[in-house]
Amino acid sequence: MEFILNTIFWTLALYGLFEIIKNIINIFTYTKLQSDGIYLIIAVKNQEEKIEGFLRSTLFKILYGKEDYLKNIMIADLKSTDKTKEIAKKLELEYDCLKVTSWKECKDIIDNINET
């Protein structure tokens, strides 16, 4: 009986530690996003032939145009089966304002926004 209780205790303790680490990683991942301003969320799926041109033209208009208020762009991949996510990740390395994420992560961010 003591073995079972110890097993349950340590399992829950490890799960709690995992959740704390996951939350710390999420905080550091999303802190480069501004707390206020306008966010542009682009949902994509299987657009490997068009995504790079679309994102580059959109980013060019935003970054070099007069849209100074829009600096947070999130690309939400809807489980693409082609190279859409890899192309977006490559562009994420080039542009600081771009964040590539899955739709689930994007939904979690939206759900955790505090209304003020």
pLDDT per residue rounded down to tens, the chain (116 residues): 888 888 988 898 888 888 888 877 766 665 555 556 677 888 999 988 998 898 888 888 777 765 556 667 889 988 889 999 899 999 888 887 888 888 888 777 777 665 54
Strand order of the sheet with strand 72-77? Answer: 39-44, 72-77, 98-102
Place of tokens 């003591």: 2
Closest CA to 43 of 79, 68, 11, 97: 79
Q: According to the model, what pLDDT value does residue 31 have?
A: 55
Q: According to the model, what pLDDT value does residue 66 have?
A: 59
Task: Enter the pTM of the model.
Answer: 0.60
β pairing state of 98-102 and 72-77 = parallel
